[in-house]
A and B are shown apart, each in its own frame.
Chain A
């Protein structure tokens, strides 16, 4: 097998994607179970994913099992693999993935689902769990999109709901004990574990929650790819969860409550990660990093102890204080991205994005004063209750930003405002789960309105393609039968759908035609409040009543304050050991 793989690598683009052997990768000689972990996209995208790194390090350092990795081969490689009869192999051992005991695939994004089928097929593992035998690996999934497991349930033996690190150790222990037992017997046992959804034994599953973020589980020596990846930096999750309560946001409603890592842990871990990887940049990641209670002290401490390190802060809030924080990092001055999400105060109240027009102006002012020349502003269109006035609001913010830039930036001529506009995609387990996506024609009209009316001088408008969002929406709130559409789309040639040049809408049209529907029909489906939702059997720990109440408040444009600073919003997530933990 090794020589066969090597001879393929002579003929493909970027062969380093398939070689393994990176610093930080683990090879075990003696192990109880062999697990392969996958991100269903190409190596340089997948390797940047933190979930895979966390579970990889957890399995390898804290259990007797061996975790390896496999990513989705790029079409040039998969074509050769099929032609030469080389099955999907893991990077560490170059052994077939098919021969592993377990194969875990992370669900970060709906538009990676066809790649899952591609990988199963390349591995020679039956696509559907019913068709697998005791000789096949148990294929499992986890990650944010597992919150609605139904559209892909047909392809998995079991699906982890919630924080993987909470479930994984017990799961490995159980599987070690039960090794060699028939598949069905093991799956039946797994279906009784918290946070495990087994499509063959469907039961109501409650999301697993790690009550604290354990220092011991930080991958302080993560894998350092031997080739350029999308995030060439050390990434540390400093906080999980966000209770700002944006009503469209899947992550904010799913990963509750807020759990902050102690500041000492953050400093210690960053130091260890930088020493262990040789990266010059570390990213403090979370859903809203500037909300971390000790962010200022942490940045100051990190700057002092690692003077040459660049700290990057993703997910900045539209907040002048947050922009000022950037001054504490030695981040390169260039552009900055802010997300007001909606153009008018009314619509921002509907979505509960608690950002005022003044906040936006002050944040932009601060950004230009801080030496930046480019400000990127991110908006959504197609939000519930949206009117033309809200779209006009986007244009007004853009022109205001340009005006501020011309007066505040060091060089008025170099000011650039980039406006990025995506279409809202409703997600399960959010207050907006009952709303359908706007129809294609309506969204096209809205895009056209922006294109026609947005001034062009020093403002660049980029509107996201509509169709990938529609497909995402059709899947995100899909049902069991959606799996048939995904499979049919893959058979019609869909794959690497998140890549603009690979996205093939015709294949998706064929896919949904196979279940007697269309992408648009599925994407725009709305549910009544009393309807049974396909994902009702997944308990996110947030009360459905809370979501209903939030939806009603949204329709009245009423905001709900964050429980971190305001009253308890009674979302229902806090219970026993599960509660908000802040580092201050």
Chain B
């Protein structure tokens, strides 16, 4: 029997340079150092059960990242939080950890992600560019890929961007980006779109993923009553 947990953590500052696979190793080692034993996957090469809801690009900070993992034994929650908290590399911080009762991984249920992009200085054309971005019905960018470039309409994923203004003028934007089975966008594509509209170079100081929204699990299919009120036998009949 496995015990499933979910932790939320942030990865900010210098830790934003730790790549996705290395982040997985950091988290696995942290859990082992904290003294907990992973549940293992089945198969020839059993691997610890741990996954992130969504990879985070190198250089992008995450304020509320989601990690699902399974342990072999039930862990007292207070102990789990306390021990795990001290074991992460500098820049990664545990925000919460708790049991998870979901049957499917968060990774398969990401609905949308939210970003905040902070610009260096106060780009003059940002406000106008954001307004025009929101008005356009489609913004098509070229995604360069080794197997041939592909056109994407970035508005499909990010319909609206919002300016976050401060006293010195608008210094940043926030937006939600849809994630679907067809794909999603990347924050630098939004920057590319805005820069294209405003015609000025936008200097970025930070890109932060502020949230990952997870779709609720579909409720388990109710057992259909068979004759005599017994649940129908759903397996193969001999």
Binding site for B on A (CB under 8 A): 6, 9-10, 14-16, 18-23, 25, 224, 226-228, 232, 275-280, 308
In the complex where A16-B17, A278-B30 touch, is A22 in contact with B35 (Cβ < 8 A)? Answer: no
Give the top 9 A-B pairs by smallest Cβ distance, nearest first.
A21-B90, A278-B29, A278-B32, A15-B17, A19-B14, A278-B33, A227-B22, A226-B89, A16-B17
Asked if A16 contacts B18 (CB within 8 A), the reply is yes
Asked if B25 contacts A20 (CB within 8 A), the reply is no
Quote the shortest CB–CB distance from B187 to chain A (angstroms). Answer: 14
Asked if A227 contacts B19 (CB within 8 A), the reply is yes
In the complex where A23-B89, A226-B26 touch, is A276 in contact with B33 (Cβ < 8 A)? Answer: yes
Asked if A279 contacts B59 (CB within 8 A), the reply is no
Asked if B29 contacts A19 (CB within 8 A), the reply is no
A279 surroundings in chain B (CB, below 8 A): 29, 32
Asked if B59 contacts A10 (CB within 8 A), the reply is yes
Q: Does B87 have its Cβ within 8 Å of any Cβ on chain A?
A: yes
Q: What DSSP secondary structure best describes chain B's contact surface?
A: helix
In whole angstroms, what is the CA distance A358 to B21 when docked? 45
In whole angstroms, what is the CA distance A275 to B90 when docked? 19
Binding site for A on B (CB under 8 A): 14-15, 17-19, 21-22, 25-26, 28-33, 35, 37, 58-59, 87-91
In the complex where A20-B14, A275-B35 touch, is A224 in contact with B90 (Cβ < 8 A)? Answer: no
In whole angstroms, what is the CA distance A22 to B87 when docked? 10
Asked if A6 contacts B33 (CB within 8 A), the reply is no
Quote the shortest CB–CB distance from A216 to chain B (angstroms). Answer: 22
In the complex where A15-B58, A21-B89 touch, is A278 in contact with B21 (Cβ < 8 A)? Answer: no
In the complex where A276-B33, A278-B28 touch, is A19 in contact with B59 (Cβ < 8 A)? Answer: no
Please name the residue on chain B nearest to A10 by beta carbon.
B59
B19 surroundings in chain A (CB, below 8 A): 14, 16, 227
Name the residue among A6, A19, A226, A275 with the largest chain B CB count within 10 angstroms: A226
Asked if B14 contacts A6 (CB within 8 A), the reply is yes
* Between-chain CB contacts (< 8 Å), 15 pairs: A6-B14, A9-B59, A16-B18, A16-B22, A20-B14, A21-B90, A23-B87, A226-B22, A226-B26, A227-B18, A228-B25, A277-B33, A278-B29, A278-B31, A280-B32
Please name the residue on chain A nearest to B17 by beta carbon.
A15
A21 surroundings in chain B (CB, below 8 A): 14-15, 89-91
Of B29, B33, B90, which one neighbours A20 at CB under 8 angstroms? B90
In whole angstroms, what is the CA distance A87 to B59 when docked? 22
Quote the shortest CB–CB distance from A43 to chain B (angstroms). Answer: 12
A224 surroundings in chain B (CB, below 8 A): 29
Quote the shortest CB–CB distance from B67 to chain A (angstroms). Answer: 15
In whole angstroms, what is the CA distance A18 to B89 when docked? 14
Please name the residue on chain B nearest to A25 by beta carbon.
B90
